[in-house]
């Protein structure tokens, strides 16, 4: 059918329709602002969301909807400037209703430019308080969950440590009992004393680890010869391993000195050897080797050229890739409650890093394990 309306009628009707459209939007407050931010016009949504009547708002500056802190900080002017400069401005924040209550608003400001001249701004505001609150509630719930998990982890740790210490004390008390009952059986007494000493060593190591974990390790570095330190520890290492396990030392000659904390290095070595021992079902072979690093660990950002390394190698069951990834994290353990607290590798790793070095784990299932600590070599 032929349309008899003139273009003027079209324009009028289109304009009318458009106004009707804007007016009937009730979920969005739509305003037109003049170039200085004074409100020229707004829609039903604006009246509904903000609670004002036309005569209270038309001609007012739009900053009256902002909370005082944002108004004082110049947020309204900043929004207009950003819209002018970038062609659009989007932001979320608190706004005020007529009755003084706050709502969380999502705001978009677009500049209106005709023939290159700014004639005002279109501003669209949406009340997204519900969404905002549910986001906050979700964050709160996540925080609470994290807190609960931490408490659970501390509970597990305390449980594990109490078991550990109980076991160790049990070994010591039993040994002393048996010693006093069999004073004359020299061989038996020697074995019992060794067992008790082993348990006491383990207890000492455990407290040392807990202390250094709690304090973040205050180191007392000194210049030392790693070979000498390893040799001096041989008896302790042998005792830690017990029967069925062989320990070899393979020490490189002419090694440069290093500057590290002696007690921490001893604890780290003992940790690595005990880890190897624990991985064996019954028998196994452990090698403690020293040397100059043949390649510089790529992870290290340091001007040092040479690194002295000490590594503990075993022919045990090795670790899965997943375990290797997590092994140095504090409290990560695959051992049952009371058999490990997950602090050994974390101590060795933290100590090596704090000494300007690095710890590297090489391990695959059924291929054994090699854990290497690198320390910067001293020049002279
Ligand atoms: N030589 C190894 N062979 C196989 N798995 C190992 C070896 N060393 C470490 N792991 C794995 O890495 C985990 C973490 O070792 P870490 O020394 O940090 O803690 P832990 O030995 O479990 O407990 P803790 O040392 O505090 O008594 C171990 O539980 C084990 O699964
Ligand atoms: Mg360990």
Ligand 2 center to 335 CA (angstroms): 9
User: Is the same domain home to 79 and 162?
Assistant: no
- Quote the CA–CA distance of 89 and 108 in Å, as a whole number: 6
Residue 332 CB less than 6 A away from ligand 1: yes
pTM: 0.58
Query: Does residue 330 register a pLDDT over 50?
Result: yes
The per-residue pLDDT for range 235-278, each reduced to its tens digit, is 888 888 888 899 999 999 999 999 999 988 998 999 999 999 99
pLDDT exceeds cutoff 90 at 148:
no
CA–CA separation, 372 and 57 (whole Å):
73
Element (H, E) at 22: helix 7-24
Contact by Cβ (8 Å): 33, 51: no
Kindly give the distance from the C-alpha atom of residue 348 to the centroid of ligand 2, in angstroms, as a whole number.
Answer: 10
Q: Closest Cα partner for 312 from 263, 261, 262, 278? A: 278
- The pLDDT score that the predictor gives to residue 217 is 57
Assigned domain for 132 exists: no
Average of per-residue pLDDT across 178-205: 90
Q: Please check whether residues 169 and 117 belong to one and the same domain.
A: no
CB 376 within 8 A of CB 307: yes
**How would residue 1 be classed by pLDDT, with cut points 50, 70 and 90?**
very low
Report CA(239)–ligand 1 centroid distance (Å): 19
With a cut of 90, say whether residue 140 has pLDDT above it: no
Q: How far is the CA of 270 from the centre of ligand 2 (A)?
A: 9
End-to-end Cα separation, the chain, in angstroms? 102
* 212 close to ligand 1 (CB < 6 Angstrom): no
Buried/exposed 308-323: b ≥16 CB within 10 Å, e otherwise: bbbbbbbbbbbbeeee
Q: Same domain, yes or no, for 204 and 301?
A: yes
Residue 76 pLDDT greater than 60, yes or no: yes
Binned at pLDDT 50, 70 and 90, residue 108 comes out as very high
Cβ–ligand 1 distance for 327 under 6 Å, the answer yes
Whether pLDDT at 366 is above 80: yes
User: Is ligand 1 within 6 A of the CB of residue 160?
Assistant: no
Average pLDDT over residues 344-353: 90
Measure 272 CA to ligand 2 centroid, in angstroms.
Answer: 7
Residues 6+ apart with CB under 8 A from 316: 276, 279, 280, 284, 368, 369
Same-domain check for residues 123 and 144: no
Ligand 2 centre and the CA of 30: distance in Å? 65
Rounded to an integer, the average pLDDT of 34-58 is 90
Model pLDDT, residue 89: 96
Of 38, 89, 47, 331, nearest to 213 (Cα)?
331
State whether 120 and 245 are in the same domain: no
Whether the per-residue pLDDT at 198 is higher than 60: the answer is yes
93 & 147 share domain: no
* Domain coverage including residue 338: 140-376
Same domain, 21 and 161: no
Report phi then psi at 12, rounded to 5: -60, -45
Asked whether 331 lines ligand 1 (CB < 6 A), one says no
CA distance 211 to 214: 5
Over pLDDT 90: what percentage of the chain? Answer: 55
Residues 71 and 212 in one domain: no
Mean confidence (pLDDT) of the chain: 88
Query: What backbone torsions phi and psi does residue 304 show, to the nearest 5 degrees?
Result: -65, 140
Residue 60: pLDDT band (50, 70, 90) is: very high
Cα of 358 vs centre of ligand 2, distance in Å, is: 18
Q: Does the C-beta of 315 come closer than 6 Å to ligand 1?
A: no
Which pLDDT does position 215 carry in this prediction?
Answer: 63
Domain shared by 173 and 210, yes or no: yes
Whose Cα sits closest to atom 25 in ligand 1? 344
- Segment 332-349 mean pLDDT: 86
pLDDT level of residue 204 (50, 70, 90 thresholds):
confident
Backbone angles phi, psi at 359, to 5 degrees: -120, 135
**352: CATH:** 3.30.565.10
In this prediction, residue 70 carries a pLDDT of 94
Q: Is 271 in the pocket of ligand 1 (CB under 6 A)?
A: yes
Question: Which of residues 296 and 29 earns the better pLDDT score?
Answer: 29
* End position of a domain, from candidates 99, 127, 155: 127
Ligand nearest to the CA of 365: 1
* 172 Cβ closer than 6 Å to some ligand 1 atom: no
Q: Ligand 2 center to residue 191 CA distance, Å?
A: 24
Looking at all shown ligands, the one closest to residue 333's CA atom is: 1
Lowest-pLDDT range of 56-65, 100-109, 132-141, 202-211? 202-211
Residue 174 has pLDDT above 80, yes or no: yes
Which of 103, 127, 151 is the C-terminal boundary of a domain?
A: 127
Tell me the ligand closest to 332's alpha carbon. Answer: 1
Q: Is the CB of 347 under 6 A from ligand 1?
A: no
| Residue 150 located in a structural domain | yes
Nearest to 86 by CA among 65, 113, 68, 63: 113
Q: Would you place residue 4 in the very low, low, confident or very high pLDDT band (cuts 50, 70, 90)? A: low
Specify the number of domains making up the chain. 2
Residue 134 lies in a domain: no
Give per-residue pLDDT as tens, 269-280. Answer: 999 999 999 999
> Does the pLDDT at position 315 exceed 90?
yes
Where b means 16+ CB within 10 Å and e means fewer, 143-176 reads eeeeeeeeeeeeeebeebbeebbeebeebbeebe
Same domain for 96 and 230, yes or no, is no
In a domain, 135, yes or no: no
Closest-CA residue, ligand 1 atom 9, reads 275
The finding on whether 372 has its CB within 6 A of some atom of ligand 1 is no
Look up the CATH number of the domain holding residue 95. Answer: 3.30.450.20
């Amino acid at each position: 059918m032929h349309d008899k309306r003139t273009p003027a009628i079209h324009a009028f009707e289109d304009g009318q329709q458009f106004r009707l459209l804007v007016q009937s939007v009730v979920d969005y407050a739509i305003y037109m602002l003049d170039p200085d931010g004074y409100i020229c016009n707004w829609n039903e949504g604006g009246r509904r969301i903000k609670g004002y009547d036309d005569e209270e708002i038309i001609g007012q500056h739009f900053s009256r909807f902002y909370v005082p802190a944002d108004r004082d900080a110049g947020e309204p002017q900043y929004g207009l400037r950003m819209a002018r400069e970038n062609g659009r401005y989007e932001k979320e924040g608190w706004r005020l209703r007529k009755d003084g209550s706050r709502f969380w608003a999502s705001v978009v400001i677009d500049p209106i430019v005709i023939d290159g001249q700014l004639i005002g701004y279109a501003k669209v505001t949406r009340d997204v308080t519900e969404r905002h609150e549910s986001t906050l509630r979700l964050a709160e719930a996540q925080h609470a969950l994290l807190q609960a998990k931490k408490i659970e982890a501390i509970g597990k740790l305390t449980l594990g440590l109490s078991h550990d210490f109980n076991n160790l004390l049990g070994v010591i008390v039993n040994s002393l009992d048996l010693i006093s009952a069999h004073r004359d059986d020299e061989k038996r007494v020697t074995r019992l004393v060794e067992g008790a000493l082993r348990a006491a060593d383990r207890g000492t190591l455990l407290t040392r680890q807990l202390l250094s974990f709690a304090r973040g390790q205050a180191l007392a570095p000194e210049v030392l010869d790693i070979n000498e330190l390893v040799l001096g520890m041989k008896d302790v290492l042998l005792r830690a391993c017990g029967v069925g396990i062989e320990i070899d030392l393979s020490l490189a000659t002419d090694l440069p000195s290093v500057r590290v904390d002696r007690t921490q290095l001893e604890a780290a070595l003992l940790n690595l050897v005990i880890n190897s021992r624990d991985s064996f079902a019954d028998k196994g072979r452990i090698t403690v080797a020293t040397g100059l690093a043949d390649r510089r660990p790529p992870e290290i950002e340091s001007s040092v050229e040479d690194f002295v390394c000490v590594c503990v190698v075993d022919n045990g069951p090795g670790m899965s890739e997943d375990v290797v990834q997590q092994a140095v994290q504090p409290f990560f353990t695959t051992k049952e409650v009371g058999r490990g607290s997950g602090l050994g590798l974390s101590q060795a790793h933290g100590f090596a890093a704090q000494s300007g070095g690095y710890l590297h784990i090489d391990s695959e299932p059924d291929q054994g394990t090699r854990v290497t600590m690198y320390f910067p070599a001293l020049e002279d």
